[in-house]
Amino acid sequence: MDLGVKGRVAVVTGASHGIGRAAARQLAAEGAGVLLVGRGGEALSEAAGECRVEGGEAKTLEIDVTTDGAGERIVQSAERELGPVDLLVSSAGTNWARPLAELSEEDFERHWRLHLLAPFALFQAAVPKMAQRGYGRVVTVASIASKRPSLFNLAYAVVKAAQLSLTRGYADSFARQGVTVNSVLPGPVDTEMWAGVLEQTARDRGVPLPDVIAQAEASTQRGRFATPDEVGAVIAFLCSEQAANVTGAAYTCDGGSVQALY
* Residue 84, helix vs strand vs coil: coil
Tell me, what's the pLDDT at 224? Answer: 66
Check if the beta carbon of residue 65 is closer than 8 Å to that of residue 38: no
Tell me, what's the pLDDT at 99? Answer: 78
Structural domain includes residue 258: no
Structural domain includes residue 155: yes
Tell me, what's the pLDDT at 233? Answer: 93
**Rounded to 5 degrees, what angle do the CA atoms 95, 146, 88 make?**
75
Structural domain includes residue 50: yes
Tell me, what's the pLDDT at 97? Answer: 72
CA gap 133, 115 in Å, rounded: 27
Structural domain includes residue 261: no
pTM: 0.90
Structural domain includes residue 131: yes
Tell me, what's the pLDDT at 187? Answer: 76
How many domains would you assign to the chain?
Answer: 1
Which residues are known to be catalytic? 156
Owning domain of residue 131: 9-189+227-253
* Residues in contact with 105: Cβ distance below 8 Å, sequence separation at least 6, in sequence order: none
Q: What is the CATH number for 90?
A: 3.40.50.720
The 10 Å Cβ neighbour count of residue 48 is 24
Average pLDDT, consecutive stretches of 10 residues, N- to C-terminus, the chain (262 residues): 93 94 96 95 93 94 96 98 98 80 89 96 98 98 86 87 96 97 84 66 72 69 76 95 96 73 55
Check if the beta carbon of residue 32 is closer than 8 Å to that of residue 10: yes
For residue 210, how far is the Cα from the chain centroid? 27
Structural domain includes residue 200: no
Structural domain includes residue 217: no
Structural domain includes residue 198: no
